Amino acid sequence: MRLDWPDCENVRDLGGLPTRDGGRTRPGGLIRADGLHRLTPHGVASVRAANVGRFLDLRGFAECEREPSPFAADPAYHHVPLLDEVLTYEVQHDTYAPMLEHNRDRIAGAFHLLAVAPPDAAVVVHCVGGRDRTAGLVALALAIAGVEPEAIIDDYGLSPERDPISMRNTLAHVDERYGGAEAYLHEIGVAPADIEEVRRRLRS
């Protein structure tokens, strides 16, 4: 469900997505967004009214220094850069597999912060465009919550200028190499309790 946070353009509450067991994800648990530094004062007020208990800003240090978050001084704000400042691998535009393989510790750290967020409030995950770094972390969370793969792909496709084949290839990589998102998260060091907490956030 799209949210109106002026002047952000790629904000969605990830509630209502279909799951493999016939259920739906819980509204108000996880929100994906683009750069919150773009928010107008009205947009900041809209965010504060959305019962947000944690902000996970996945941008790099230089990005945050250049365009600070309006929530940077808030105790709920956490800066968790998902990528190295200088990439050590070649970006591929038809899959996020290299990002998942080369940033394991950072992904595990971000996933832990998602897991231990206040359970009765929303978590906002964002980067600059809300399309790549955000997409990778969100896809893992949705997958372990049992969201249908096609629904994960469709949600990804709602972001501007993104081809759904990239997410399809990413999910296929995780399935083929690890046997699924949960096995990948175990492999990179995410605690079983953290996985369960994220699942509960999206399903309760």
- Measured between alpha carbons, how far is residue 116 from residues 11, 49, 111, 138, 201 in Å? 22, 21, 9, 16, 10
Torsion of CA 20, 22, 28, 32, to 10 degrees: 30
pLDDT of residue 88: 72
| pLDDT surpassing 90 at residue 78 | yes
Residue-wise pLDDT for 137-194, tens only, equals 999 999 999 999 999 999 999 998 889 999 999 999 999 999 999 999 999 999 999 9
Chain-wide mean pLDDT for the chain? 95
pLDDT of residue 105: 96
User: pLDDT band for position 92 (50/70/90)?
Assistant: confident
All domains of the chain, ordered by start, with CATH?
A: 23-203 (3.90.190.10)
Residue-wise pLDDT for 93-144, tens only, equals 899 999 999 999 999 999 999 999 999 999 999 999 999 999 999 999 999 9
User: pLDDT band for position 204 (50/70/90)?
Assistant: confident
pLDDT of residue 128: 95
pLDDT of residue 86: 64
> Mean of the pLDDT values across residues 26-42?
96
Q: Which residues pair with 36 in a beta bridge?
A: none
